[in-house]
Chain A
Amino acid sequence: MADVLFTNVRIFDGGAEAPFMGEVLVQGHRITRVLPAQRGVRSAPTMGAQVIDGAGAFLMPGMIESHTHFSWNDQPSLDSIQRMPPEEHILWCAEVAKRYLDMGWTSCVGAATAKPRLDVVIRNAINDGTIIGPRYLAASQEITVPGGLGDTTAPHLPQPEFAFGAVVSGAEEMRRCVRMFCKFGVDTLKINLSGESITGMPSEMSQFTEEEIAVCVQEAKAWGKRVAAHARSTWSIKQCIKHGIEVIYHASFADEEALDLLEAHKFDHFVAPGLAWLINTCHNASAWGLTPEVTRKMGYHRELEAAIESMKAMRRRGIRILPGGDYGFAWTPHGTNAKDLEYFVKLIGMSPMEALLSATAWGGPMMKMGKEIGYIREGCLADILLIDGDPLSDITLLQERERILAVMKDGEFHRAPPGRSTRTTRWAV
């Protein structure tokens, strides 16, 4: 692996300071030098390094997606995700994993998978080089109750293979299910604590008994795993804090008590609201029969308002809000994930700087990698993006593939910057 020296770049280093001009040297997997361009500072040695003249491009840490479903297949329903055969499904996941890296997401936190082993296999295949993809934490299927979000069996077709989630009832079934996923090698157990309006059980309702939740967390922790919860309802948010469920997805209906609890434990939890799902289900899903009238009746418009208020309040209270969420449906296709940053700025009052931090520095702990990723600092892993333009003045730049000039993961270019070539003749030999 050749060393790479980025020169003439504007560096956003993952701290909250303004970007500065300078140079970044990558050796092996890591960033070894970050040099601000100042009078009197000597340039890094270029001997043996590939030199990339950034011509003023914006250099930032690779982004971290905190709520990823590689196995959602850009279809309009859970059922059509489930009907994809396992062979095609694993190839789909591999294709999507590469797409995320293409779009600058060098790390992704799996938030649930559609068949038991998909996430684990993809993570392993990325790690051993069989396929190309971001750093990945593998999740279980969604664990749910009969009739809850993820139970897509029909009364006359009760086979578990028809279910999107893993359906359990009772503490001991929960324990068996958690143990099975731990055996398969997941990093995260996903539990659906609240409803989801589109499935018939409203988002404000909750499922599972406290005993079942306790067993899930107890068993997961015994195996050293993390628990992540689908938690839209007020009760479910509080359950997360009560049982120490680290990752709280959605958290739409947070009341004062829930906010107080979250604030009191703000370094123990991550919140990833997945606003894209709410926004696009309310406003951009008519082509799939979900007109605004329909989704209003389902309750999504009310939930969107509640979620925006909850996130504003959490932001004020210093709770970490992370981007990503539920991309992989027909109206939230994979690869458009950076829209979350735009939503953070436009809807919940983040500055572009905060939005960038939520996708970089704050994501390191979410990936269980602390400060090893998410920063352009000496000693950090070299997950680096080169952006044409300034995301701090226009956060939507990050949604455009052409504006992401280069993607480096672990010191290797996944996408090298385009060269300026003046001739088309190529010489073989």
Chain B
Amino acid sequence: MTREPSEVLFTNVRILDGSGQSAYPGSVRVRGPRILQITRSLGGVSAGDAMVIDGAGATLMPGMTEAHTHFSWNDAASLAAIQTMPLEEHVLWSAKVAHNYLKAGFTSCVGAACAKPRLDVVIRNAIESGQIPGPRYLAASQEITVPGGLGDEMLPHLPFPDFSFGVVVNGAEDLRRVTRMFLKYGVDAIKLNLSGDNFVPGADAKTTWMTDAEVAACAEEVRMRGKRIIVHARSCASVKQALRHGITMIYHASFTDSEALDMLEAAKDSVFVAPGIGIIYALLNEAEPWGVSREKAVSMGYEEEWAAACESLKAMHRRGVRVLPGGDYGFAFNPHLQNARDLELFVRYLGFTPMEAIRACTLYGGQVMQRPNDLGLVREGYLADLLLLDGDPLANLSILREPKRILAVMKDGVFAKTPPVDRARTWVSAA
């Protein structure tokens, strides 16, 4: 093993600082977990005893943030298939996925729900203690739902909660009890499924399932402990319900009307929207091998939702609502590690410029990770979560999902993916 020097100096890099400003040439010195110094020049910099990485013109940018992450989704084609993975295997799977996200350039992830009660918490703790490599992580609860809603996978003749992907509650006090249980386990966020989903027969995306009394009971508990509620809200009514209860992390938000958009705009300094449009795109266009033909996807309502989501999200973006990439990767038709494709979809379908797409996973990433003052930018004093890219992501966003183009990943000043070294010789001497 090579011993890491205490400082790392990236020279000769194009710095894309993540704030939305243009890239500039310079060098970046990292000491410990933070960025110590940025020099805006290609002139010589004293290396001292730092490990020097000559970037040869590569792009240095902040590590990306995934705003809607499910480590425990296991690239299967159904919710039931995620649920039938035994606990022990599920933990190891989640650990492996966490490591892969980090190597793919996601240095922060917002957990959006896990498939068994403690998976997210255990993975977050193991990452923080250094036991396993992975991104910064905010741990979520399971999806909390009501009988018949998205996440209730119990069959009438097998009414056992362990079969269920989500936790099924009924009534405000039941929701309060479950919320307390997850807070006891140590989650950072409670996930509520407010709306249905076209994936679930009988509970489509335009339906809304929870009562205000239920949501209020959860919100009261969560606020008391200083945690966050995150919601699955595809329907227009569910988006408004979330905003009514002061919920700041809204997933999907496909269907909106002008009232919903006005409410979102009014709350734009506190609200984040992560639409997870990758999965709609995939179901509509790419899921044939898994039994979802274009025709079937249309009949499930995905064409209508896609059109509505594009309109809603374009409008939000115009009104200055923060729309973030990430979402629902971890299905067979929308597998893990393709997450950065969201940026391309944002540009192609939602009216983002490439720079705005990048900003949504850097500047906004630090904000959604609840560290707006020291995460998400290449700035002096910020945490050294950095990517070194072969190429210019503004010219071609797809390099962000090509492992070969991601030359190095650093988190907290430590390489999670070490830059390739030009080896002059293959002889290695031992002893």
Kindly identify which residue among A50, A54, A124 contacts B431, using a CB–CB cutoff of 8 Å.
A54
Q: Which residues of B contact A117 (CB under 8 A)?
A: 86, 88
User: Which of A91, A405, A417 makes the CB contact (< 8 A) with B131?
Assistant: A91
Q: Does A183 contact B (CB under 8 A)?
A: no
> Closest residue to B13 on the A side, CB-wise?
A428
For A94, the closest partner residue in chain B by CB is B92
**A residues in contact with B224, CB < 8 Å:** none
- Whether a CB of chain A sits under 8 angstroms from the CB of B46 is no
Binds B, one of A80-88, A260-268, A272-280: A80-88
- Interface flag for B390 (CB, 8 Å): yes
Which residues in B have their C-beta under 8 angstroms from that of A54? Answer: 430-431
Q: Do B95 and A91 have beta carbons less than 8 Å apart?
A: yes
The answer on a CB contact under 8 Å between B52 and A405 is no
Cα distance A50–B131 in the bound complex, in angstroms: 32
Return the chain A residue nearest B119 by Cβ: A87
Closest-CB distance, A389 to chain B (whole angstroms): 9
Q: Which among A118, A405, A429 is the interface contact of B390 at CB below 8 angstroms?
A: A429
Q: How far is the CA of A426 from the CA of B47 in the complex (A)?
A: 12
Cα distance A425–B55 in the bound complex, in angstroms: 11
Q: Are B119 and A417 interface neighbours, CB within 8 A? A: no
Q: Which of B243-251, B299-307, B327-335, B414-422 contacts A (4 or more CB under 8 A)?
A: B414-422
Partner of B93, one of A130, A388, A427: A130
B172 at the interface (CB under 8 A from A): no
**Within 8 Å of chain A (Cβ to Cβ): is B258?**
no
Q: Is the CB of A417 within 8 A of B91?
A: no
Q: A residues within 8 A CB of B119?
A: 87
Contact mask B88-130 → A, CB, 8 Å, 1/0?
A: 1101110110000000000000000000001100100110000
- Indicate whether A212 reaches chain B with its CB closer than 8 angstroms: no
Residue-wise, chain A 206-241 has the 8 Å CB interface mask toward B (1 for contact) of: 000000000000000000000000000000000000
Q: Are B88 and A118 in contact (CB under 8 A)?
A: yes
Pairwise interchain contact B427-A427, C-beta atoms closer than 8 A = no
Residues A53 and B427 in contact in the complex (CB < 8 Å), given A87-B119, A424-B5: yes
Residues of A within 8 A of B96 (CB): 130-131
A420 contacts the other chain (Cβ, under 8 Å)? Answer: yes
Separation of A428 and B407 alpha carbons in the complex (Å): 7
A386 proximal to B (CB < 8 A): yes
| A279 CA to B122 CA, complexed, in Å | 36
Residues from chain A with Cβ under 8 Å of B420 in the complex: 428-429
Q: Is B54 touching A428 in the complex (CB atoms < 8 A)? A: yes
A residues in contact with B390, CB < 8 Å: 429
What residues of B have a CB within 8 angstroms of the CB of A15 in the complex? none
- With an 8 Å Cβ cutoff, the count of chain B residues facing the other chain is 41
Q: How far is the CB of B75 from chain A (nearest CB, A)?
A: 13
Point out the residues of chain A lying under 8 angstroms from B396, CB to CB.
Answer: none
1/0 per residue, CB under 8 A from B, across A85-124: the answer is 1111011001100000000000000000000011001001
Q: Is the CB of A428 within 8 A of B132?
A: no
Identify which of residues 387-429 in chain A touch chain B, using a CB-to-CB cut-off of 8 Å.
Answer: 388, 405-406, 415-421, 424-429
Interchain nearest-CB distance for B389 vs A (Å): 10
Q: Give the complex CA separation of A427 and B55 in angstroms.
A: 7
Measured CA separation A94–B95 after assembly (Å):
10
Known: A91-B91, A424-B5. A417 touches B430 (CB 8 A): yes
B55 touches A86 (CB 8 A): no
User: Of B52, B87, B428, B429, which one neighbours A86 at CB under 8 angstroms?
Assistant: B87
Q: How far is the CB of B331 from chain A (nearest CB, A)?
A: 19
Tell me the nearest residue of chain B to A58, going by C-beta: B431
Are B92 and A130 within 8 A (Cβ)?
yes
Q: How far is the CA of A85 from the CA of B429 in the complex (A)?
A: 44
B430 touches A426 (CB 8 A): no
Residue of B nearest to A424 (CB): B51
User: Contact flags (1/0) for B64-98 with A, using CB distance below 8 Å?
Assistant: 00000000000000000000001111011101100
Interface assignment of A52: CB less than 8 Å from any CB of chain B = yes
Q: Is B408 an interface residue (CB 8 A)?
A: yes
Contacts of B131 in A (CB 8 A): 91, 95
Known: A57-B430, A87-B119. A427 touches B87 (CB 8 A): no
User: CA of A388 to CA of B429 in the docked complex: distance in angstroms?
Assistant: 12
- Is A55's CB under 8 angstroms from B92's CB? no
Asked if A386 and B430 sit within 8 Å, CB to CB, the answer is yes
Shortest distance in angstroms between A124's beta carbon and chain B's nearest beta carbon?
8
The smallest beta-carbon distance between B205 and chain A, in angstroms, is: 32
Output the nearest chain A residue to B422 by Cβ-Cβ distance.
A427
Query: B400-429 CB contact bits vs A (8 Å, 1 = yes)?
Result: 000000011000000000011110001111
Query: Complex formed: what's the CA distance from A396 to B89 in Å?
Result: 37
Name the one of A86, A87, A125, A429 contacting B58, with C-beta atoms under 8 angstroms: A429
The reply on A154 being an interface residue by CB < 8 A is no
A429 and B407 contacting across the interface, CB-CB below 8 Å = yes
Query: Does B53 sit at the interface, judged by CB under 8 A?
Result: yes
Q: Which residues of B contact A52 (CB under 8 A)?
A: 428, 430
Asked whether B388 is an interface residue with its Cβ less than 8 Å from the other chain, the reply is yes
In the complex, are the beta carbons of A405 and B431 less than 8 A apart? Answer: yes
How many whole Å from A131's CB to the nearest CB in chain B?
A: 6
A88-B128 Cα distance, complex, nearest whole Å = 13
Residue from A50, A121, A415, A425 in contact with B89 in the complex, judged by beta carbons closer than 8 Å:
A121
List residues of A whose CB falls within 8 A of some B CB: 50-57, 85-88, 90-91, 94-95, 117-118, 121, 124-125, 130-131, 386, 388, 405-406, 415-421, 424-429
Q: A121-B88, A419-B429 are in contact. List 9 more A-B contacts (CB 8 A).
A: A87-B122, A417-B430, A425-B51, A427-B53, A427-B421, A428-B53, A428-B420, A429-B57, A429-B407
Interface residues of B, Cβ cutoff 8 Å to A: 1-2, 5, 51-58, 86-89, 91-93, 95-96, 118-119, 122, 125-126, 131-132, 388, 390, 407-408, 419-422, 426-431
9 A-B pairs (CB sep. < 8 Å): A51-B428, A53-B428, A53-B430, A55-B430, A91-B92, A94-B92, A130-B93, A388-B430, A388-B431
The 3 closest A-B pairs by CB, nearest first: A417-B430, A428-B419, A121-B88
